[in-house]
Amino acid sequence: MYQSFVNAKANESVASLICSNIAVRMSLGEIAKKGGVFDIQKLVPADELREFVSMLRYSKKDGAAGNLAGNFTSGSDFGKDTRSVTGKAHIKFLTNKSVQIKLVLNITVNDAIDLCPGQPGDKDEQLLTVPLSRLEKSGMAGDIGFSVSYPYTYTELKKL
């Protein structure tokens, strides 16, 4: 299960957006053009980082991550589903006009297996989810909350 979160395609998409944001802000002079290791929270405005993190949606192709966490527009008995990203950006200038940005991130997912209401899944998954949702609706079963934290490293070269 853990590896399905680590290998999820959404991680790369979010990391690429963070790298692009940093490079654009450097080009505009909003971030000093210097190498080093920096907290991403200090490089990327909080509202923009929240927007990027909101894109951490796992698909069925991601395996267990997609089946368990999927989207996070709802909540459960355990509260609202959340995602968070913290970490460092290792910035190395290759020339005056190109930079290597290596992100070393920690991604945390707080979610719940919630079958009623919930996404029933495809035809095969419904063989399990429909009976379990009936148990939950009748009060014989309930939501199961979980939290997964995992590292994710991503490197991208950017032109300024």
Residue among 143, 111, 112, 115 nearest 129 (CA): 115
Query: Which structural domain, as residue segments, surrounds residue 46?
Result: 2-159
Instruction: Determine what percent of the chain is predicted with pLDDT higher than 70.
Output: 92
pLDDT at 121 over 80: no
The arithmetic mean of pLDDT across residues 127-137, rounded, is: 75
pLDDT at 75 over 80: no
Q: How many structural domains comprise the chain?
A: 1
Distance (Å, rounded) from C-alpha 82 to C-alpha 108?
8
In the prediction, which pLDDT does 72 show?
67
pLDDT at 102 over 70: yes
Q: What is the band of 59 on the pLDDT scale with cuts at 50, 70, 90?
A: confident
In the prediction, which pLDDT does 152 show?
97
Give me the chain's average pLDDT, please: 88
In the prediction, which pLDDT does 139 show?
77
Question: Would you say 2 and 148 are in contact if contact means Cβ atoms under 8 Å apart?
Answer: yes
Q: What is the band of 106 on the pLDDT scale with cuts at 50, 70, 90?
A: very high
Helix (H, G, I), strand (E, B) or coil at 19: helix
Contacts of 96 (CB under 8 A, 6+ apart): 160
56-60, 102-106, 128-132: least confidently modelled range: 128-132
Distance (Å, rounded) from C-alpha 30 to C-alpha 126?
50
> Do you find a cis peptide bond into 117, omega within 30 degrees of 0?
yes
Distance (Å, rounded) from C-alpha 41 to C-alpha 85?
9
Reported as a single tens digit per residue, the pLDDT across 18-29 is 999 999 999 999
More confident call, 111 vs 37: 37
Q: Which helix (H) or strand (E) holds 36?
A: strand 36-39
**DSSP secondary structure of 58-103:** --GGGTHHHHHT---S-EETTEE-EEEEEEEEEEEESSSSEEEEEE
